[in-house]
Structure 1
Amino acid sequence: MGFKSVLCVTDADHSDQDVRTAATLCVEVGAHLSVLITPPQMLVMSPLPIGDGVPEWPAGRGQAIAKLNNRFRQIDRFTQDVARQEKRSQDVQKLLRAMCLSYDVDTDYCDATRVGEIVRQRALCADLTIVGPALLNDSIVGPLVINGSLFDTGKPVLIVPDGAEPTLWPRRVLVGWDSRLEASRAVREALGLLCAAQEVRVALVDPKPNYNANSAEPGADIAAYLTRHGARVSVDRLPSAGKPVAAVLAQHAIDTSAEMIVMGAYGSRRLRERLFGGVTRWIFEKPTLPLFLAR
C-alpha cells in the first residue's frame, strides 16, 4: 500500500468526526497523518483607508469612527478565532495521542481567498487527502479544500460521506472507466488497493468499441492492465437507459456490494466555482460510498 502520508483538513468549529476517520484509516495502513486546522469563519479583513480614503476631520469624523470601530471588531474576532484554533489543535492532538499513530497538527489563519492555495501546498507533499463528512457538508470550506487538494496537485482525494464505513483495504471496488486521462490516473493512484481487493469490477456506461486500443471489447485493455498487476478483475458494460452516468455507477456499486468507487474527476479551471463537471458532481449530493478521485 503506497499511502504513507495522509492529509486531513478540518475547521476549528468542526467535530472530531473527520479527524477520527482519517486517523483510523492511517492506523489501518501505517501512514502518517497531517492535520490542518482552518479558522472557524474565513472572512477577508478590509484594509484600513489611508491618504485620500480618510474622511476630512471633523466633517467625516462619524464615518472615520465607524471604520475604526469595525476594525476593532475584526481584530477582536481575529483574537477569538486564533484562540479557538489553538484550543482545537490541543483537542486534536489529545485525540491522536490516544490513537497511537504518527501525526502532526498545524493551524493556519487565512481568509477564503487563500485557503485553496494553502491546502494545495500541503497536499503536494501527501499521498492522499481525506475529505470527511463534516468538511464535505461545509458549503464554504469544503469546495475550497477539494479544489486545492484535487485539481491543483495531481494527487488523489478520498471522499468519505456521512454514514460510510471507509477502509483503505476494500474487498470489493468499482472502477468507473471511460478511457480518459483522469480515469487512468485514478486507477494508477489506487493500484495498491485495487490489487489487494478480492474483487475489482470495471464499469463502463454505454461503451463503444475502440479498434485502436488493445481490443475491440470495451474495457478489455484496462482489465488486462490490472490483471497483469495481480488484480482480480471483471468488466461490466452498463446501459444508461437515459439515466445520468453518475446514477448508473452509484446504483451498480450498491448492487455489487462495492465498498469504494474509484474514478477520474473532471472539471474546468474556468468553472471552479461550480466544482466538478460530468459524473463527479454527484459527490455533493450525499453519496453512500467512499469515492476515490484523481485528476
Structure 2
Amino acid sequence: MAFRTILTVTGPNKRDGDLKLTADLCNEIGAHLAVLVVAIAAPPPVGEYAAVVSEAWLEQRQADENLLKKRTAAVSAFLAGRAPSADVSSEYPEAGWVDDTIGRRARYADITVIGPELLADQTLKSKAIEGALFSSGKPLLLIPEGSRPTLKPKRVLIAWDAGLEASRAARESLDMLPGADEVHLVMVDPVEDEYRHGAEPGADAAAYLARHGVNVTVDRLPSLDHSVVDVLRRHALDIAADLLVMGAYGHSRLRERIFGGVTVSMLEDPSMPILMAR
C-alpha cells in the first residue's frame, strides 16, 4: 500500500536525528509526518513511606509534564518546513500502557518509523515496537545507526517462509517493490510440501509479486548449520540490499523471548533498514 502518513516516536530527552531522518523519508514520497512525543509517567509510591514521598512524586510528575510540553513545542518548531505537512502530539501514559498508547496512535498512520535514537533507548524502543506490531495492524520500519534509509529501495530482500506474517509484510511493502531494480524472495532450507512451500518453493509468491510488476528472483538458500538470521544478513550483504522485508513473531512473543527467534534477533541487532509486519 502507499504510505501517505508516517509516524515516528520520540521522547522528552531525545535529540532531533530521528525527526530529521523521518522528515527526509516523508519528503522522498510526499507523505505527512506524524510525531508522537512520549514520556513514561513516574510510578506512584508504594509501601509505608508512600504518604511521606507522595508530594515528591507529584512534583516529579509535574516536572515530567512540563518537560513533555517543552519538548512537544520544540519538535513542532523543528519540523516547520521540513516535511510536506506534519502534526505533533504528546502522551504521558503509565508504564504498563505505553505500548497500547503508541499502538493506538499508529493506527492512524500507514507505517511507524523507529530511528537510531529510539533504538538506543531500550525501554521506549521495546514499547514502541510492541505497540506498532501488536496494537496497530500496521507495519514498522527499523532504521539502525549508519544506514541509509529510503522508501524507494533499489534492491530488496524479502524473507519468505510462506507464513501469514511474511505474507503481510510482502503486501505492506508492495507499493515500493515495482520501482526496485531487484527483489529477492529468499527462503532458508525450504521444504517441498503442500502445506507451506508447495512443489516448487517460492513459485507461488513470486508469481503473485510478478503480477504486480515486481522484478522478482527466488533464492533458495541452505543454512549449512548457520542460523536463519545469519544466512539472511549474509545474503543481504551479498546482494547489496537496501531494505529487508520480513514478517514478525511467527511464534508467540513469550516463546521467542525464551527460546529466541528470527524476530528477536533482528530487533536486538538490526544491521540494515528492516520493514516488519504481522
TM-score by length of 1: 0.88
Instruction: Give the Cα separation in 2 of the matches to 1:196 and 1:276.
Output: 38
Of stretches 210-219 and 199-208 in structure 1, the one that deviates more from structure 2 is 210-219
Instruction: Give the Cα separation in 1 of the matches to 2:179 and 2:190.
Output: 27
- Residues 1:250 and 2:233 aligned together: yes
Instruction: Give the Cα separation in 2 of the matches to 1:285 and 1:273.
Output: 12
- Residues 1:93 and 2:76 aligned together: yes
Instruction: Give the Cα separation in 1 of the matches to 2:33 and 2:83.
Output: 11
Deviation at 1:90, TM superposition (A): 1.6
| Aligned twin of 1:199 | 182
Instruction: Give the Cα separation in 2 of the matches to 1:87 and 1:68.
Output: 30
Instruction: Give the Cα separation in 1 of the matches to 2:205 and 2:13.
Output: 43
- Residues 1:176 and 2:159 aligned together: yes
Contact 1:136 1:284 in 2 (8 A): no
Deviation at 1:194, TM superposition (A): 1.2
Aligned match for 1:127, one of 77, 85, 110: 110
Contact 2:229 2:262 in 1 (8 A): yes
Map 1:97-246 onto structure 2 (within 5 A). 97-211=80-194, 216-246=199-229
Of stretches 228-237 and 268-277 in structure 1, the one that deviates more from structure 2 is 268-277
| Aligned twin of 1:44 | 43
Deviation per CA, 1:215-235: give whole Å up to 9, x if none. 622111111111110000111
Instruction: Give the Cα separation in 1 of the matches to 2:258 and 2:166.
Output: 17
Q: Could you say which structure has the larger radius of gyration?
A: 1
Instruction: Give the Cα separation in 1 of the matches to 2:191 and 2:197.
Output: 14
| Aligned twin of 1:285 | 268
- Residues 1:82 and 2:70 aligned together: no
Contact 1:267 1:277 in 2 (8 A): no
Alignment gaps of 5+ in structure 1: 50-62
Instruction: Give the Cα separation in 2 of the matches to 1:270 and 1:286.
Output: 17
RMSD (CA atoms): 2.2
Of stretches 234-243 and 75-84 in structure 1, the one that deviates more from structure 2 is 75-84
Deviation per CA, 1:264-290: give whole Å up to 9, x if none. 001555629939952111233332210
Deviation per CA, 1:142-194: give whole Å up to 9, x if none. 11111111122221000111111100000000000010010000000000111
Q: Which amino acid aligns with 1:11?
A: G
Distance 1:119 1:273, change over 3 A: farther
TM-score by length of 2: 0.93
- Residues 1:4 and 2:8 aligned together: no
* 2:136 aligned counterpart, secondary structure: coil
Deviation per CA, 1:185-206: give whole Å up to 9, x if none. 0000000111221110111101
* 1:33 aligned counterpart, secondary structure: strand
Q: Which amino acid aligns with 2:44?
A: M
Deviation at 1:255, TM superposition (A): 0.9
Deviation per CA, 1:17-59: give whole Å up to 9, x if none. 11111111111111111111111x5432247x9xxxxxxxxxx
Distance 1:69 1:147, change over 3 A: same
Instruction: Give the Cα separation in 2 of the matches to 1:276 and 1:162.
Output: 27
Runs of 4+ in 1 over 4 A off after TM superposition: 211-215, 267-270
Deviation at 1:72, TM superposition (A): 1.2
Contact 1:275 1:281 in 2 (8 A): no
The percent of aligned pairs where both chains have the same amino acid is 44
